[in-house]
Amino acid sequence: MSISRTAVDSYWMPFTSNRDFKESPRIIVGAEGHHYKTEDGRRIYDAFSGLWTSGLGHCHPKIVEAVQHQVAMLDYSLGFQAGSDKVFELAEKVTAIAPEGFSKIFFTNSGSESADTSLKIALGYHRARGEGHRTRLIGREKGYHGVNFGGMSVGGMTPNRKAFGASLLPCVDHLRHTWDLEHNAFSRGQPKWGTHLADDLERLAALHDGGNIAAVIVEPVSGSAGIIPPPVGYLERLREICDHYGILLIFDEVITAFGRIGEPFGAQRFGVMPDIINMAKGLTNGVIPMGAVMVRDEIYDAFMHGPKQAIELFHGYTYSGHPVAAAAGIAALDAYVEEGTFEQSRALEQHFEDELHAFKGHPLVSDIRNFGLMGGIDLVARPGEIGARGLEAHKKCFWEEDLMVRNGGDILQFSPFLNSRPEDITMTFEKVRKVLDQID
Ligand code: PXG
Ligand code: PLP
């Protein structure tokens, strides 16, 4: 290994079993198209598109060129009371493919920042309209909204919360999650069972008075928790209840936006319009960190009062609207449109679903879920060793099959490139099957 032991030991890795990793570091030094390159010269097929980020493939020539050009032209510009040309251009491009009525967008640097930004906008919106008593935020069990305090609090993945327990936000409740092995195991796409779980919101509205609830935040399809598509009619029902009580509905589309489920935004795919849409990842194809929060016009308008010289939203990041990130975003959006990426993604769905569900009946597999180009295979946990089988599958895929498969504990997650060929998907699952047949 050319990277020194001290270098490996110096880095505290995110969401990683550091001690296990450092025994056999999996280090990536390059990428091109659908492959990573390792320092020992292997090409690893990436079955996770980065980390749900890179649907167009790695090092897309047009994005590389745009970034190289921009960094030499304008490396940074402050974004407060001034801004680079690129960020305005990107704002126009994203809102142009958004659902009707979303013509305002605020930039962040990640999905986590988008989550906290969206919650603050929701609270500020109600306050601006004289409803400052609406302070309660509703998330969902198994939800993932990043790792900052707001997102962690409304999020519902136990391991991400429990070590930090006492410091979570107050005034937060959670809907139940919709995964149920007894009723919807091995569903293809949206399960038919579980629509009634949206009525949890009705119960929370009865408990707290719906007039005190500011917002509900959900992922249209839960990603990190292992791909949990919404039951048929579930999102529609949430929308109805939100409308009834004047609650804002936030869709966290950090994964589902930009073609991952076959449309620019998941809201369009499901035909359910939220009030706020969060995004990140695919916004720049993962090339430069960037996130965003897009709002319905009336939300923006509610902030636009008071003296003209007054700042309307006391919120923003040093790197909000970073010109190099914005240039990457513009190039990514152009590529999505020019290459027909969203349509390509949609056309691959059936093949992906069929290949994924072919694992039904495998002795190590307890459930399979999919929507769009998002897929999860649950492995049965080894008794007393939760996550060990998933991690072993990930490592075996990497070392023996030259394949990058992400495991979230014992769940194998798949996020193929939006421009995959059907045979890439077939090849991926052949390799996964080989590995699953070999591990105990
Ligand atoms: N919201 C959603 C819905 C996400 O999927 C975030 C917020 C946070 O984004 P940042 O950019 O702050 O990481 C995410 C991120 C996985 C996995 O294995 C998914 C994410 C992060 C880490 C792991 O599925 N999604
Ligand atoms: N901490 C300190 C001391 C700062 O000065 C700033 C920004 O100026 C921040 C945190 C926030 O950093 P960012 O804007 O990159 O989120």
Please give the full DSSP string across 95-154, using - where no structure is assigned.
HHTSPTT--EEEEESSHHHHHHHHHHHHHHHHHHTT-TT--EEEEETT----SSHHHHHH
State in Å: Cα 234 to ligand 2 middle. 39
Domain spanning 5-56+341-438 has what CATH number? 3.90.1150.10
Q: How far apart are CA 413 and CA 51, in angstroms?
A: 10
CA distances in angstroms from 187 to 192, 301, 354, 425, listed in the order given? 8, 42, 12, 20
Q: Is there a contact between 368 and 378 (Cβ–Cβ < 8 Å)?
A: yes
State in Å: Cα 223 to ligand 1 middle. 8
Structural domain spans, the chain: 5-56+341-438, 64-338
Q: Is there a contact between 411 and 378 (Cβ–Cβ < 8 Å)?
A: yes
**Which residues does 335 contact at the CB level (< 8 Å), separation at least 6?**
56, 60, 62, 63, 285, 341
Tokens 């505290």 map to which residue?
A: 12
Residue nearest to atom 17 of ligand 1 (CA): 224
CA distances in angstroms from 97 to 15, 83, 103, 268, listed in the order given? 33, 22, 10, 10
| φ and ψ at residue 64, rounded to 5 degrees | -60, -45
**Which residues does 13 contact at the CB level (< 8 Å), separation at least 6?**
21
Which CATH topology does 64-338 take? Aspartate Aminotransferase; domain 2 (3.40.640)
Give the number of whichever ligand sits closest to the CA of residue 407: 1
Q: How far apart are CA 159 and CA 155, in angstroms?
A: 11
Tokens of 233: 């009619």
Residue 233: how many CB atoms within 10 A of its CB?
16
Residue nearest to atom 5 of ligand 2 (CA): 318
User: Who lines ligand 1 at CB under 6 A?
Assistant: 15, 51-52, 110-112, 115, 144-146, 219, 223-224, 252, 254-255, 280, 406, 408, 413
CA distances in angstroms from 15 to 39, 165, 334, 359, listed in the order given? 22, 18, 32, 27
The ranges of the chain with pLDDT < 70 are 1, 166
Q: Is there a contact between 415 and 227 (Cβ–Cβ < 8 Å)?
A: no
Tokens of 2: 């050319």
State in Å: Cα 147 to ligand 1 middle. 9
State in Å: Cα 157 to ligand 1 middle. 12
Could you give the count of Cα atoms lying within 13 Å of 328 in the half-sphere of its Cβ?
28
pLDDT at res. 214: 98
Task: Tell me the β-bridge partners of 35.
Answer: 32, 45
In the sheet with 172-175, reading across from the earlier edge strand, the strands are 104-108, 291-295, 276-279, 248-252, 213-218, 136-140, 172-175
Instruction: Tell me how long the chain is.
Output: 440
pLDDT at res. 251: 99
C-beta 319 within 6 A of ligand 2: yes
> Which amino acid, residue 309?
Q
State in Å: Cα 96 to ligand 1 middle. 25
Residue nearest to atom 25 of ligand 1 (CA): 224
CA distances in angstroms from 138 to 135, 196, 251, 288, 429, listed in the order given? 10, 17, 12, 31, 37
User: Is 5-56+341-438's fold the same as 64-338's?
Assistant: no
Tokens of 42: 């292997």
Give the residue from 357, 351, 433, 354 showing the smallest Cα distance to 397: 433
State in Å: Cα 156 to ligand 1 middle. 13
Q: Is there a contact between 365 and 379 (Cβ–Cβ < 8 Å)?
A: yes
pLDDT at res. 165: 78
Q: How far apart are CA 6 and CA 207, in angstroms?
A: 55
Q: Is there a contact between 257 and 265 (Cβ–Cβ < 8 Å)?
A: yes
Tokens of 139: 């998330």
C-beta 317 within 6 A of ligand 2: yes
Q: How far apart are CA 139 and CA 123, in angstroms?
A: 14
Angle at 265 between CA 259 and CA 267, to 5 degrees: 140
Q: Is 384 exposed, middle or buried (0-12, 13-18, 19+ CB in 10 A)?
A: exposed
Give the number of whichever ligand sits closest to the CA of residue 160: 1
Which strand (E) or helix (H) includes residue 350? helix 341-357
